[in-house]
Structure formats: structure tokens, C-alpha cells
Structure 1
Amino acid sequence: MTLARLAAHHGVATSYSPSAGVTVEVPDATVVAVLAALGVDASTPDEVCRALAAAEAAEADRLLPPTLVRWGRGPVPGLSDGLTVIGTPVDQLPLGVHQLEARDRDGRTAYATLIVAPDGVPQPRARVHGFLVQLYSLLSARSWGMGDLGDLAELAGWSGRTLGSGFVQVNPLHAAVVGTPTDPSPYRPSSRRFPDPVHLRIEDIPEYAYATERAGLEELVARASALRQSVLAKGELIDRDAVWELKRAALEILHRVPLGPGRRAAYCDFLAGQGQALEDHATWCALAERYGPHWRGWPQGLRDPRSAETARARRELIERVDFHSWLAWLTDTQLAAAQHTAREAGMPVGLVHDLAVGAHPEGSDAWAQQDAFAPGMSIGAPPDAFNARGQDWGLPPWRPDVLAASGYAPYRGLLRGLLRHAGALRIDHVMGLFRLWWVPEGRPPTDGTYVHYDAEAMLAVLALEAHRAGAVVIGEDLGTVEPGVREALAERGVLGTSVLWFERDWAGTGRPLAPEDWRAGCVATATTHDLPSTAARLTGEHVQLRHRLGLLTSPLEAEQNAARAEVAEWLGHLERLGLLPDAPGDEEAEIRAVYRFLLRTRARMVGVWLPDAVGDRRPQNLPGTWDQYPNWRLPVAGPDGQPLSLEDIVASPRLHALMRVFPRTDPAADSGTDPGAGQGAGPGADPGADPPTAPPGARPA
């Protein structure tokens, strides 16, 4: 009981409920290990008592929590009447992050960070539709073996002008861990703060035109052309490492081209604006080149980003530090150009960037922010009906106590960087703003537990930064969701994610949910990168794929029958609504009917999975596989598996037939987002209750 009280003081769960009426006790050893990662010694009963007494005494003596939140013009919970604020009264402080000083009647002084946030995040002014795509999979005739930011700009400009699309959502573009082979998953990045220069369009860098080493560049362009053809013509997998080898060689040449005065001034402004965070990231990149990507194996002094040894190494490697800082700047400028292209094409939202749930334990974020990460822990998911063993994603979690003590500085910096050139931000596993499943190192995921975060503060920072950027926020809320989470997100205007196949009347009949019963505050989609394409689901090819890889948990025939029954039920639902043509078995017509249905819902945003538009059968990621399936390495392809270039895609009759389902909007009337209050008070308010969503399984990393 004493251990449970101590754990509660630090937001550590000692039990959890995987389903209604079921409670699972967390092993004491897990609780002790998690508390240790939070700097609390609970190794013996005596230590537990001492730690509990200290925690209770600190709680009783504390005048203010480390971080406070004020929503709009509302009150500040935690600021008692017995405290006098020094300086500007709290109710007069503008939106922003403030340092608060207060005194009690005895003259004691307390300090806290006060986050003054708008009531909610901006909302789309009107319903918008757009494409969802993994950028690496979108190769054009100009890219170097994988999709790049030039391709993204082309897709945005074309779809905005030609189709009236309102956005393009891409996978996380975060910097990857260096080394060969590189982890291809965009959800295990080195840094979430800075983008990966592998996405650069080399020819769009202004210095390319002035490079004198033409022979070297021309050779690299020829090799890049061959690499591109190996994917598009020969059907080989996307080889990120080979792409980066060529681009890096070209960038080394371009780095030797002097910047013009204006470009130099812009670069210096970028360095000043990014400050310590960029210096740390570039230093890690330079050190990783010399000592390898695993910083825990570096010489002892270099494992500390603030050590004298690291400072000396930074000076010695200043040219390499500058090179990696320059790469970050170039990538930032091309991201800005892509968003500018999207908005000029009439897109009211433009680019939708994706925030991964965590960063690689050996990456630059984990090195530079060691104090903010819990040592010996990784995040994942508890056991559920879809995965009895749970999941360990291998990503270290932020410490909630350090975040609060810093006024959420790492989180604020992360969001500000991502929102620089975004019309919207998708947050992977948005439930992590409330709690995360921590797994102690060396233990199975079943031996993990939930650790809670200050959701009010996390949401306040999110609302503040989204307001500053004028950006919509989308939460990926699939899987196991704690009661009250969706309601709290909706109150602040954070859109959810609703996938057609999981939208059923789970509290009643279990049948497909009528379109008018869908929540308005969501992005409605037919599938995601972790799920079968619509064509694969309609034809049952996703079952065959899992069978070939030995992933089925039931006999093949039973799985096929269940899949056919599910599809038949949904097609019957579409037919009753008059959305399905009379000709049965027409795959393209059925896919169009699926998207017509999504347009019948109240969803504020409707996402079209780009591979759906051309009949691709293959998922980009197959959860539960590692080397059995080419996750994150497939180009967009047609029904026959033949890769399609961006030029092929935009000329596809199948795509144009699907997109005729979507009405054109007037960009002049619907441009921009509504910066007003959250969903509960702003446009698109959803007065109805949020229907429960069946978990498709915990989200894999």
C-alpha cells in the first residue's frame, strides 16, 4: 500500500484496466524500476517510506506547482487565494509562456511557469479533402531514388489547382539516425526537432547553378537516374542509404560554393533562431561521423553534450558542425517552399506534418536532452485483444517531472520547429499527451505500466504553438484510448482520426456506424499506412499476405471468411445508402463508394490514401514484421504491383475517376483556418457524444 501511495505521487500506475471490468495489477518490480527512472529510490521498504515521507512533505510545503495553465481568460487552477502575484496580474497576461513569482502571507516566495493558452487550436474554416502519402514512396522523374521535397511541392501544387485538394499529409520527415543500414522507419528518428536532409531536391539548391565541380555533379546525377530507374522500371525497393550516399556527395560539393550576401544573412538568421538545439544536433551528427551513431559507446567525455571534451570536439569539428547546420537550413527552406506552393495553389491547409511518438535512444535528441529522458525505459503498448504480448517500441520516454520543471521547454521547442512550415500537425499516438506505457529495459512489454503526464499543460502548450502557427492539429487516437481522452482533445479542438472499417456502433448493435453518427471533429479516412489498402481489403489480398508471412492467428479459411463477411457487411451498408452502383464486383466503383460514404459523414477533413487512388494492394508498413516484409521501402504502385512515378499518378484515369467524387471548393472563400476557440466553442462544434472506436490494435512504432 505504501508503494502504491508513493507511485501515485509520481503518476505511476500500479494497476490498469485493459477492458471493461478487468483490472491487471502491475508487478512491484516494474513500479520500483519506473520510480528509479524518475529519480525515486523505492528499492527497499525503508526507502519507500523515506521517499513517501519526502514526497508528502514537499507537497505540503509547496506553494506552487512547477507549471500552471490559464485557458483563455479563465482562472488559474493551483494559484491559491493566499498567494500574491508579483508584477503584472495573472488575468492581464497575454497568450504566451510567463515566469510567475508569488508570495504567501508569511513572505515565502515561489516561482512557476505560467502557460497562457487560447481556448483551443485553430479549425478548418470549411471541410477539406486531401491526399495522405508516405513521401519516400512518391518518386518523380526528377527525384534521386525516393520521393523528395520537390515532389511534395509538385503534388501539392497539382492537386490544389487541379483537384481542389486542401492538404497533403506526409509521414514524419524527422532526421534519421546515421549509419548503414539506416532504420527505414520514419517513426524511429534521431531527432524529431529537425528534418532529414535526405528529402532535399539537390537541383533546387541555389548553389547548384554556381558549382564549378560540374563533372562530379553530373556523375552523381547519372547515378541517381540509374537508382531511380531501378525502382520505377525494375521494381526494386527504395534504398534510402544509397540515395543518401549520392545526395551527401553532391551536398559536399555544394557546401564548397560560397553563399551570396543575402543567402549568408538568411543562414545566419536561421542559426541564431535555432540556437542551442541546432548546435547540439549538428554536433551529434559530426561526432557520429567520427565515432559511429551509438553515442553510449563514444569516449566517456563525449557522452555528455555539456562537457569540456564535447566543447573541444565541437571546435575541432567546426566545419562538419557547420555542414550539418547548413543541411538543416537547406531542408527548412525547401519545406517552406513546399508549403508556399501548397497555399499558392489554393490549399486552405497545405502541408500536414507528422510528429512521431518518440525518438531513437541512440539519436541526437536522446544525447542532447539526456536529463529529460527516463533512463532504462522505453515506451510501447500493453497487452490487448489484438496483441497478447504487448509492444515495446524501443523509444525512451520524456520524464513528466523534468518537463514540468522546465516549463515544457523541450516540448515547446519541438512543436515550434515542426509547425514552422505546416498548415496542420498530426500527432502520432496522441494519447501519449495523457499517459504512456513504460517498459523497463530487459523486461517484456507485459511487465510495463502507465506513467501519467500533465495533460492540461501538454494540451496548453500544443494549443499555444498551434495558435501561433495558425495550424490545425490532428490526433492519431486509434487503439486503446483511456476514457475521457477523446473528450478532452475535442474540447480543445484537436481533431481525431476515424478509419471507416473501425467505425461501428460498438456500444449497441456492432453494425457499421451511420455517416450522420460520425464525429465531426476528425479526419475521416479509409485506411492508414499501417493498414491494408482499400483494394487489398476488398479483394482479401491482405489476408493472403499475412498468410504467406505466417502472421495469421486463425486458420486461413476462417480468416478469409471473416474478412469476406466484414467487406460484405460494409458493401451492403453502402448499397442501402445508395452509394454503390448496381454492377457488383467492380473494385474501382466500390472504392469510390467508400469515399462517397466518407463525404456523407460530418468529418471536418477527409483523407484519401494516395495508393488507394491508383489501386495499390500493398501496405507501406505491416505491423508485427521486421525483415519478413519491406516496410517503409515500397514506391506507390498500381494494382499489378508495377511502381508508378508521380507523373504516372497524376495522369491516372483511375485516380481522376475517384477524385471526381470530391466537390471542388472555392479557395478564395475557404482559405486559411479559423484561429478561434476549440471544437466545443468554435466552428465545427460536435454537440454529440464521441462514439467509441474499436481498437485496431495498439499503434506500432
Structure 2
Amino acid sequence: EAPLVNYAAVARLKLPILELMYRRFRVFLADPAHAEDQRGRSFRAFIERGGEALARCVEFDAVSLTLQESTGSLPGWREWPPELRDPANPALARLLEGAAERIGFLNYLQWQAALQLEFAAVAARNAGMAIGLYRDLAVGPADDGAATWSDQELIASGVSVGAPPDMLNRQGQNWGTPPWNPRVLERREFRPFAALLAANMQCAGALRIDHVMALTRLFWIPAGMKGADGDYVRNPLESLAGIVALESERNRCMVIGEDLGAVPDGLRERLHELGFLSYRVQIFERHWQGDGSFKRPWEYPAQALATVATHDMPTIAEYWRGGDIGRRAALGLYPEPGMREQEEARRAAERPGILALLGELGLSPADTSDTGQITEALHTAIAKTNSMLAVVQLDDLLGEVEPVNIPGTYLEYPNWRRKLSRSIEEIEGDPRLARLAEIMRNAGRA
């Protein structure tokens, strides 16, 4: 009944059960009659395909769990004993000498996760989803996670990436993830990037690349400084974008580039030429060089994904009422006097503009204070766009108020922990979903 997911508590409940499952699996395979069982072959093949990357990942997890047992905490690798921070240090091998059972178990968990992803992809296709799963590639890894520990040469140390001040966050953003060193990446002929793409395109018909501007530049922030204190570092666009196009073709996976925020001149046009889909968010699609009015559905580009809002924005219910402004003020995200008032003035001007768009399209809500009616009208408009894809967020259809994520926050807000307010069974019978499905079908969207 708790409103937030407690990931640590869930892990404590699940791990003992998963360990029992693994032990049973090992006993099963130890029986000579099952030596060539299909599941055993699948498990061994998975480990072989995973190679060094998988081996390093499970070694990292094994060390983390071992240290947790001895210290009671789960520190990032930068806080480990010095001799364990280097994967090549003989001390690591000594620590893991007696950990074969744990290594096997961790490989088993990775295998089970991969199988579940495969089953989900098959279920999606069998349910009639032509594209199937739509996956998301983050802008970077956790600073203290397995990826950075495993390949420290590839990581630029002493910096993290983020974004300069913008309308989503007035004091800039520090995402706490380190960038790759572009010189090391180029020296390795971009193989790590190709491998990353291939892995994330598995079981997917579409991949969204978060902050696609990283293909040409990233905003680097020195350690200990704020988001507004960084600067841009160039990346080799043609090489990186070409690899994306190649892996997209190899894996039969379309690519959506999240091109919001400060987009360099010419980038959208070049990515369009390479076949990327643009990412168009209704609230941001306006005639910025003219009267500021919201764009009509026929003004959206065809080679794009269109959506009303995103997981980085307030829900429609909170946006329409302006509750997100007070929330951001309470979190200290307006660093200068008057910023909140400016945001409130902008929002007050946006609502009439949205209503004017809906009125022009014959979608005016009977009650403009009813966020459910506003949500349905906005999605009807987005369904009518020229864009190849139109997507919806379950949060908005269910009328959720609290955001699932607030960019630029970490400890200030419980990002990615807020649960849906309804159970799966309740959602299945919610008439709003049936209405939206009909709206999409009527607009020619399967």
C-alpha cells in the first residue's frame, strides 16, 4: 500500500527466493539425465555470448554483495578498498576464488532477466504490436556502477554530464553520470558504442536515444560544480551517427533521437537525412519565430514521434493546474528571485494558447478545469499529427498528478519510485483507456 517503491526491500525479499531457484536449477543440471537439457544449453550459451562484459558485470556484483555482507552497506566502487577498485588487481581474483557459487548465481540472474525481456517482446508481437518493445538508451552509466568500474580508461574522470539552464530546470542540470572519453572511443574505432547500441536494440523494434545531441556535443561539468558551470565538449557526429544507422539496420530497429532542449543548428536536419525519427512534444511545438501559437497537427514532421508530454515533465493534470511550479519552488529549483513568478506568468499565457488550438480543431473541452477532458482533447490532437508515431503516457491517461521524475534532482525527490494509483486489474477496466484506443484507431493508428 506504500505510495513509493522500496527497491532495497523488494530485493531483500526476492533474492532468497531466486537463490533457491538457482540451487534447484543446478541440482537439475547435475543429473546426467539432464546434461543436455535445453535450459542448460541456453544458460551456457548466454554466458559465452556475454563474454568479458558479462564476466566483469557479475564480478562487480559479487564484490558488492561480499562487501555488503561484511560492512552492512552497499558502497559504490570508488569507496571500495583500493586494491578492489582495479579489475586487473590480483586481490580481486583472490577475493573471488571461493565465490564460484555466487558468480554462477549472478550469471543466472542476468540470464533470467534476458529471458524475461525476450518473453515480453514475443508477447508484444503476439498481441498485435507491430513495432513491439520501445526501449530507451540512457545518456550514460551510473558513476559508481559496473560499467565505469569495468572500463575505467573509457570514462572521463572528474566530470559529469548535464545541461545548461533551460525551461525544465532554471539552475541547470547535473545528471551525475560520467561521459566517455571521445579520444579513447575513437582510438578503439567506436566498438564500445556499437556494442552498447546492439545490446540495447535486442528484443526491440524501436530505440529512443536520450539526449541525442550527445552525438555531436555533451555538456561537461567539473566535479563539485553546478549544472550552470559546465561547458560543451565536441563529439564526432558523423562517426557516431553512422554507427547508429548501421546498428539500426543490422538489428531491424528504428531509432528515435530525443532532440529537446538546446539543439545545435543543423543537427535535426542531419539526423533526418540519416533516418532518425525526431521527438516532438506537443507543449514545446510552437511557432517560436512567429506569434508563439501552438502548431497544428498537419505542421508536425512526418519523420517523427509525437507525444503530449514526457517522463521528464509534469503530468498533464499537474501542468494544467500549475502545481508543478509550486513543487519546483519547494525543491529550490528556482535559484533567482522572480523566476517562479515568471514561470507562473508563462503558464497563464500558455493555457489560452492550448485552448485556442483545441478550439480550432473542434476539440474544445466542455469544462476547461476538468483535466481529464483536457487530456483526452490533447491526445486526440496528437493522434491527428502527420508524425509516423504517436505515443501516450499511462500516467496522463490515469490522471496521475505527482511526476515520476524531476530532472536535475536526486535526493530532493524520489525519482522513479512513485507507484501508479491503480492496480493492473483496475487499469484494465478503466474506460479512459478504451476511449483513447478508439481515438487512436479513428486517426488511423493501430
Name the TM-score, length of structure 2 as normaliser: 0.90
SS at match of 1:523: strand
* Aligned residue runs from structure 1 range 437-476, under 5 A: 437-476=219-258
1:247 maps to 2:14: yes
Secondary structure of 2:390's partner? strand
1: distance between equivalents of 2:194 and 2:333? 40
Bigger strand fraction? 1
Partner of 1:567: 351
Instruction: Note if contact 1:354-1:428 (Cα within 8 Å) is conserved in structure 2.
Output: yes
Identify the residue that residue 268 of structure 1 maps to in structure 2: 44
Specify whether residues 593 and 297 from structure 1 end up closer, same or farther in structure 2 by C-alpha distance, changes over 3 A only. closer
Give 3-state SS (helix, strand or coil) of 1:662's partner: helix
Rounded Cα–Cα distance in structure 1 between residues aligned with 2:171 and 2:323: 26
Bigger RCO (CA 8 Å, 6+ sep): 1
Amino acid at match of 2:423: S
Alignment of 1:294-313 (within 5 A): 294-313=76-95
CA RMSD of aligned residues (A): 2.3
1:92-116 CA distance string (max 9 Å, x none): xxxxxxxxxxxxxxxxxxxxxxxxx
Counterpart check, 1:280 vs 2:56: yes
Matching of residues 345-356 of structure 1 within 5 Å? 345-356=127-138
Give the corresponding residue for 2:431: 653
Q: 1:660 is matched by which residue type in structure 2?
A: E
Q: Does 1:494 align with 2:276?
A: yes
Identity %: 39
- TM-score normalised by L of structure 1: 0.58
Distance 1:556 1:278, change over 3 A: closer
Query: Does the 8 Å contact 1:537/1:567 carry over to 2?
Result: no
What secondary structure does 2:255 align onto?
A: strand
Alignment-derived partner of residue 359 in structure 1: 141
The answer as to 2:382 corresponding to 1:615 is: no
1:450 & 1:548 partners in 2: Cα distance? 30
Shift of 1:387: 4.8
CA displacement, residues 308-338 of structure 1 (integer Å, 9 cap, x when unaligned): 3333434332221221111111000000000
Indicate the structure (1 or 2) with the bigger Cα radius of gyration.
Answer: 1
Measured in 2, the distance between the counterparts of 1:468 and 1:402 equals 25
AA aligned to 1:280 is R
Any idea what the Cα deviations from partners look like across 1:625-674, whole Å, max 9, x if unmatched?
444433221112xxxxxx2011111111222223321117999xx8xxxx
Distance apart, 1:250 and its partner CA: 0.9
User: Equivalents in 2 of 1:453, 1:414: separation in Å?
Assistant: 17
CA contact (8 A) 1:476 1:496 kept: yes
1:460–1:558 Cα change, 3 Å: closer
- Deviations, residues 384-403 of structure 1 (Å, cap 9, x unaligned): 56656433222111011111
CA contact (8 A) 2:217 2:235 kept: yes
- Secondary structure in 1 matching 2:61: helix
Cα distance in 1 between the residues matched to 2:291 and 2:176: 38
2: CA distance between counterparts of 1:349 and 1:545? 36
Once the two structures are superposed, the pairs formed by residues 187-198 of structure 1 within 5 Å of their partners are none
Deviation at 1:563, TM superposition (A): 2.0
**What amino acid maps onto 2:12 in structure 1?**
E
Contact 2:143–2:178 (Cα < 8 Å) also in 1:
yes
Q: CA 1:508–1:562 in 2, change beyond 3 Å: closer, same or farther?
A: closer
- Whether 1:504 and 2:286 are equivalent positions in the alignment is yes
Contact preservation (8 Å) 1:293, 1:363? no
Instruction: Quote the residue 1:337 is aligned against.
Output: 119
Contact 1:357 1:428 in 2 (8 A): yes
**Given the alignment of the two structures, is residue 238 of structure 1 paired with residue 5 of structure 2, yes or no?**
yes
Q: Secondary structure of 2:379's partner?
A: helix
Q: 1:358–1:397: 8 Å Cα contact kept in structure 2?
A: yes
Q: Secondary structure at the match of 1:244?
A: helix
Question: Does the CA contact (< 8 Å) of 1:380 and 1:445 recur in 2?
Answer: yes
Which amino acid in the other structure matches residue 629 of structure 1?
A: Y
Q: Give the corresponding residue for 2:160.
A: 378
In structure 2, runs of 5+ residues without a counterpart are: 68-73
Does 2:202 align with 1:420?
Answer: yes
What SS does the corresponding residue of 1:329 show, helix, strand or coil?
helix
Deviations 1:524-558 (A, max 9, x none): 11111121111222233333434555555648776
476 and 362 in structure 1: CA distance in 2 versus 1, 3 angstrom threshold: same
